[in-house]
Amino acid sequence: MYSCIGIPKLVQIKAPVPPVNGRSHPSNDLCLANARLVLADRVMQGALTVRDGLITDIAEGDHLPPGAIDCDGDLVLPGLVELHTDNVERHIEPRPGVDWPHLPALLAHDAELASTGITTVFDAMRVGSIHGGKGRYLRYARTLADALLAARAQGYFKISHFLHLRAEICSDTLLDEFATFGPTDRVGIVSLMDHTPGQRQFRDLEVLKNYVAKKRGMNDAEFAAHVENLMSLQRRFGARHEVGAVTEAARLGAVLASHDDTTAEHVATSARNGAGFAEFPTTHAAAEACRAHGIAVMMGAPNLIRGGSHSGNVAAEALARAGLLDILSSDYVPSALLLSAFRLASIWDDLPRAIATATVNPARAARLHDRGTLAHGLRGDVLRVRMIGETPLLRGVWSQGIKVA
């Protein structure tokens, strides 16, 4: 059985389960039979029953109970858990400078994630704005969070949503924006982002230039001014904002995550700050340091599918082969999460271990112990998957036993 190396044992969030599709207490029964169930340590032929939103029975064998869905040998696995996705930002700003109404954007985002097998998501939204020039970023997190929390309370979503605040250290307004959030917002994750040019993800300024200039339409002079502005913000606010963000994460009761750690020194600082997991370490050395400090390593699914980082950083596959990958994130391609888990299964020749990187490992890292694996009493978030060669084809997605895709 695969041990989730580097993932801390954390207390469970005690909070009411939000309604699904407007139902506070799902009461329909679901039985998926004649299936290959992906359990924590093996794949078993059998049937799985969900009642009142929870898994109530797992039975071995090929028996087809009355009323059951005949899965015809398809795989049945836990719903995917996504800790860091930029997808909601893509919906509220479909093009640079184009603002989209928040509720329709959130509903489209929710439906898209459901269609890819993601049944729990921590929606990443930036706190910390930058003023001036083409490189400016305006504040939006509080209003977006309000729309998300209201929609969740009304049962408008197909899947389970939590808040993830991306704390931009190089910004003008980070602590002011944090002050608008409180414990009742149930912020699940706070990640520390330092996008100062010349280090971490953007050690190569040409990579940053290609990324930003294309996204924001900057010429050389505008890009140079953008770089100087970011460096100035880091000099003025970097140390104070990092300490403040760590303090705010504790105040909000959120899991702290590091981001783009590159050196052993970066990881040592993350460990002192109390980081529970590391988002996208950029070097093999940083990933090894995370393992030494007991910090779980998250890598991007697109990196694994593409065979390398689009920023020229360490390849997810290299870390996987070295045993240094614990969690996958879809990052900017929601459909990549399921596909990458099966890619890992081929690399490791271990399907349960691979599926864990997109289900139980991220759930535990985020302090959610009521989901992420097929076990009695846990949430009935399940997927039905048929393999087409090496490509997983989703044939059904259920959230708390209710079919959502």
* pLDDT per residue as tens digits for the range 67-123: 999 999 999 999 999 999 989 999 999 987 889 999 999 999 999 999 999 999 999
Q: Is residue 309 part of a domain?
A: yes
**pLDDT for the residue numbered 28:** 66
| Reported confidence tier of residue 45, pLDDT bands at 50, 70, 90 | very high
Say which residues have a Cβ less than 8 Å from residue 344's Cβ, sequence separation at least 6: 304, 320, 325, 328, 353, 354, 357
Sign of CA dihedral 19, 23, 25, 31: negative
Establish if 397 belongs to a structural domain.
no
* CATH code for the domain of 331: 3.20.20
Q: Which of 22, 17, 36, 26 is nearest to 56 (CA)?
A: 26
3 state SS of 81: strand
185 occurs within a structural domain: yes
Determine the pLDDT at residue 218.
74
pLDDT of residue 208: 64
Residues 362-389: pLDDT tens digits?
999 999 999 999 999 999 999 999 999 9
Q: Give the Cα-Cα-Cα angle 395, 400, 404 (nearest 5 degrees).
A: 40
Q: Look at residue 229 and tell me if it is in a domain.
A: yes
In a domain, 160, yes or no: yes
What is the identity of the amino acid at 370? D
**pLDDT average, residue stretch 111-136:** 86
**Structural domain for 226, as ranges:** 80-355
What is the reported pLDDT for 25? Answer: 46
User: Would you state the pLDDT for residue 135?
Assistant: 54
Q: Is the pLDDT of residue 347 over 50?
A: yes
Instruction: Answer whether 40's CB lies under 8 Å from 55's CB.
Output: no
List, for residues 266-321, the tens digit of each pLDDT value. 999 999 999 999 999 999 999 999 999 999 999 999 999 999 887 778 999 999 99
Report the 10 Å Cβ neighbour count for 98. Answer: 8
Nearest Cα to 127, choosing from 270, 245, 208, 30?
A: 245
Per-residue confidence band for 209, with pLDDT thresholds at 50, 70 and 90: low
Query: Quick one: pLDDT at residue 291?
Result: 97
Inter-residue contact 83 to 362 (CB < 8 Å): yes
Is residue 299 a part of any domain in this protein? yes
In this prediction, residue 396 has a pLDDT band, given cuts at 50, 70 and 90, of very high
Alpha helices in 274-335 (DSSP H): 284-293, 301-306, 316-321
pLDDT score recorded for residue 372:
98
Distance CA 171, CA 312 (A): 25
Is 259 a residue whose pLDDT tops 80?
yes
- Angle (CA) 195 200 202, round 5°: 65
pLDDT (0 to 100) of residue 136:
59
Query: 137: which DSSP letter?
Result: B
Residue 18 resides in a domain:
no
Q: Tell me which of 22-26, 61-65, 89-93, 179-183 is least confident.
A: 22-26
- Model confidence at 194, pLDDT cuts 50, 70, 90, reads confident
Please report whether residue 30 resides in a domain: no
pLDDT of amino acid 289: 98
Residue carrying the six token digits 């929870």: 54
Report the domain count for the chain: 1
